[in-house]
Amino acid sequence: MHWRDALNKRALSLLSWKKHRRHVHLATTCAAIVQDITRSDVDAILVSGDLTNFGTPDEFALAADWLKQLPVTAMVIPGNHDCMIRQPAEKGLLQWKTWSATSYPYARIHDGVAVVGVNSGVPTPPFMAYGRVGRRQLARLEALLKQLGDAGLCRVVMIHHPPRRGLVTWRKALHDYRAFARVLKRTGAEIVLHGHSHDATLTHIPGTDIPLLGVASASLMDKREHRQACWNHLSIHAQDDGWAIQMSRHRPDGRITEKASWVRPRNSRA
């Protein structure tokens, strides 16, 4: 990164990286995750943000190269690191349009499953990493979820910031999580995936029975098991009256540390 690129909030992130994060976020750990995913014979990979550290154009390009090398189709949303500062879209998010979108939310349909990508990443002041979906995106999300539900598709919603209070500190929280939850309560969804917290968690969207599944960073080495690098394997199958969803949580060495399953009614309203 050129010194001119760090004359903003990136300077604080760079200090954090040099002092701490570079010692615990390891490329070898992420590579082991990808190898385990490859062995598991999945047909799509969902990436819930933070493919970059500082959101520089060069990092976006490197991340695009990484996405090209994944064993199957990937679908991506940005995280707070990817949206650290304002910059022309062609230098940032548009480099990922093959795996993401030019606007949000987006929907990609695969074998009866609709992956809905929401962008909660916004530039924030120093020492802050909060997110926001915003009214316009929430309105589009509501219309999109209704349309997909009426079409009988399984709706897997992906957002970076956890849309629930208490999973991250206030300075990292999703500011409009209540509005997001209200949209899902009206429209329904089968499951919601998030990143950001670096914790492997399983909760619910507030006021609903919609599962909310968090994942640890794919590159993080930590003594605490719930923060150790992992990936979530979702298996979704259509039933006469809905969707059977199974989840297993995998570590880089192939160990499965948690399992869960749900039967979600077709086009359910939470």
Domain boundaries along the sequence of the chain = 3-265
pLDDT at 218 exceeding the cut of 50: yes
* Kind and range of the H or E run holding 109: strand 106-110
DSSP state of 24: H
What interhelical angle do 135-150 and 177-187 show, nearest 10? 20
* Domain topology for 3-265: Purple Acid Phosphatase; chain A, domain 2 (3.60.21)
User: What is the rounded average pLDDT of the residues 66-83?
Assistant: 96
User: What is the rounded average pLDDT of the residues 121-132?
Assistant: 94
Helices (H), the chain: 10-16, 22-24, 27-39, 57-68, 135-150, 177-187
Instruction: Output the 3-class SS for 118-129.
Output: CCCECCCCCCCC
Write down how long the chain is. 270
Question: pLDDT at position 115, please?
Answer: 98
DSSP state of 221: -
pLDDT at 15 exceeding the cut of 70: no
Tell me how far apart the alpha carbons of residues 113 and 110 are, in angstroms, rounded to a whole number. Answer: 5
Q: Determine if residue 147 is left, alpha or beta; phi over 0 gives left, psi from -120 to 50 gives alpha, anything else beta.
A: alpha
DSSP state of 166: T
If pLDDT is split at 50, 70 and 90, which confidence band does 7 have?
very low
pLDDT at 10 exceeding the cut of 60: no
| Nearest residue to 138 via CA among 182, 99, 94, 171 | 182
221 close to 29: Cβ distance less than 8 angstroms: yes
pTM, 2 dp = 0.92
Beta strands 191-194; 154-159: pairing state = parallel
Question: pLDDT at position 24, please?
Answer: 72
- Bridge partners of 162? none
pLDDT at 8 exceeding the cut of 60: no
pLDDT at 12 exceeding the cut of 60: no
Tell me how far apart the alpha carbons of residues 227 and 216 are, in angstroms, rounded to a whole number. Answer: 5
Question: Average model confidence (pLDDT) for the chain?
Answer: 91
| pLDDT, tens only, 18-51 | 566 676 778 999 999 999 999 998 999 999 999 9
Tell me how far apart the alpha carbons of residues 46 and 99 are, in angstroms, rounded to a whole number. Answer: 10
Single-letter residue type at 149? G
